[in-house]
Structure 1
């Protein structure tokens, strides 16, 4: 297999009809490490919105069980991308995510912002910041945008932007207007950064901490009230990532997809998992969710729009389905 074979396959596909397939190839074959970093940073940014970070802090899930929440987020999103929204593991993951979200009062605007981070951060990481071994093309950016627009529709999010440019405008304006300090957001940020450092050997952690902080822009450091990284460390981080990109460009393409099961940082389910039974069950759901392997099952329920109250049976812990 040649270095640009995946590139050629992507550009034979349709950016709308094959959006999920293109996005999967980008994340599992072309840029597995980069996409993981970009999407991790995308989620991390949301903690700087007080209505989001404060809520996550109040649940204490992201401070007391950080590894589990990291794993669940990656696994649920990964199952949807790998299997789609049709019946099966992808739809089960979608239902589980929707059920968790609808347990809380989350505004449509916050949903839109979170969705925008998934659309905007990969092109910024790979193209704008120059950390990719090649640039994303307009065709690929359009496909990635279309995939997350589809995900947003399955989450019943309203007023979803139509184009990447509109997502960028929403992303930047929302951060300018809503980024700010909250105790919950800072606590979740601290716990997340600590988890990221735990992924490195102990002797590397002092350097990795400075390296990680150097990747946070001024909006983030101000919102979390962190001391900004020095110019030296910002320059060193950018140099290292751009140097890595040059090396990766000459590496052979990844033939087998790199998915969540290959990620050594995901540790909570060593014997496997059922996407319908992982995550949080905040309403004291009677379904046991600490199992390692269980059968797949489920029924279909309608997803309320953001801000709409859950039916009593779903507030009591029943499974909530997706909108199709």
Structure 2
């Protein structure tokens, strides 16, 4: 356990208002790398579950026709912004590309806000339930502030004033708008490979059931996914809890930060240009 809480000790000396990028980078790159990546994967899946958002994705055909590239492009743009912030050239370029990709589509402010809420709430809840320790108040606030900054730079308005307010808004929006729809179901089937890659090979035969068990009940209903048998749900829950305890007792912070050697993606074995990420037809709008 030597040094297990070193990052937390440092984080508690920081000011989330001023240092939210530093704190969020530490969460992703050193403190919870596996859980944060998985939580962001779950947030990505949740973001297309609202019927209006799913309809936009179906119109573009990116998630169903070019699934791996679309997944990789989204991850690369997100990680570029997290690793570089919005004041460094690569972070600014990634943000610019995100805005270019969305500009041709008629997306409501509420739908943008929901996607932002997925990125704030879903990974935080995963860490609270299955991280080797729950996120502290500085980490929750830093998560909220990073995505508030992103949202404002994307022109999103009416962003709730704190993590707690955003979580309350997110849950109320789910109750009002998250309902079964064919578009979300089709996209979930196409993107399921994203989650299957997170399952250890030894559990391959149970992969689909385990992925479904990671979804909460509202998401399963929205994407028309059957609830897995209770032994699968219970077994996954126990295994993740055991993992968190083992990490707490025997783990150590990463000696080398995640992405220290760059961000890799299947679609770009030889590297990538930020300006080329996303649907190529969007480049006409640059």
Taking structure 1 as reference, are residues 58 and 280 closer, same or farther at Cα in structure 2, changes over 3 Å only? same
Match of 1:47 in 2: 48
Greater gyration radius: 1
Taking structure 1 as reference, are residues 139 and 199 closer, same or farther at Cα in structure 2, changes over 3 Å only? closer
Match of 1:271 in 2: 270
Verify: 1:25 aligned to 2:32, yes or no: no
Match of 1:309 in 2: none
Match of 2:214 in 1: 215
Q: How many residues align?
A: 284
Match of 1:259 in 2: 259
Verify: 1:70 aligned to 2:71, yes or no: yes
Cα deviation for residue 164 of structure 1 reads 0.8
Taking structure 1 as reference, are residues 53 and 260 closer, same or farther at Cα in structure 2, changes over 3 Å only? farther
Q: Distance in 1 between matches of 2:164 and 2:126?
A: 16
Taking structure 1 as reference, are residues 199 and 164 closer, same or farther at Cα in structure 2, changes over 3 Å only? closer
Match of 2:192 in 1: 193
Taking structure 1 as reference, are residues 246 and 203 closer, same or farther at Cα in structure 2, changes over 3 Å only? closer
Cα deviation for residue 222 of structure 1 reads 1.3
Match of 2:106 in 1: 105
Cα deviation for residue 204 of structure 1 reads 3.9
Cα deviation for residue 148 of structure 1 reads 0.8
Match of 1:180 in 2: 179
TM-score, normalised to structure 1's length?
0.83
Match of 1:282 in 2: 281
Match of 1:38 in 2: 39
Q: Is the 8 A contact 1:103 1:282 kept in 2?
A: no
Taking structure 1 as reference, are residues 260 and 102 closer, same or farther at Cα in structure 2, changes over 3 Å only? farther
Q: Deviations over 1:93-131 (max 9, x none)?
A: 00001100112110000011111111111221111x2x0
Cα deviation for residue 198 of structure 1 reads 5.3
Q: Deviations over 1:59-81 (max 9, x none)?
A: 11101111111111111010111
Cα deviation for residue 221 of structure 1 reads 1.4
Pairing 1:67-216 to 2, within 5 Å after superposition: 67-127=68-128, 129=129, 131-197=130-196, 204-216=203-215
Cα deviation for residue 85 of structure 1 reads 0.7
Q: Is the 8 A contact 2:38 2:198 kept in 1?
A: no
Q: Is the 8 A contact 1:22 1:143 kept in 2?
A: yes
Taking structure 1 as reference, are residues 201 and 160 closer, same or farther at Cα in structure 2, changes over 3 Å only? closer
Taking structure 1 as reference, are residues 256 and 198 closer, same or farther at Cα in structure 2, changes over 3 Å only? closer
Match of 1:302 in 2: none
Instruction: Give SS of 2:36's match.
Output: helix
Match of 1:314 in 2: none
Q: Distance in 2 between matches of 1:19 and 1:12?
A: 12
Structure 1: tracts of 5 or more residues without a match = 286-316, 320-324
Cα deviation for residue 259 of structure 1 reads 2.4
Instruction: Give SS of 1:18's match.
Output: helix
- The structure where helix makes up a greater share of residues is 2
TM-score, normalised to structure 2's length?
0.93
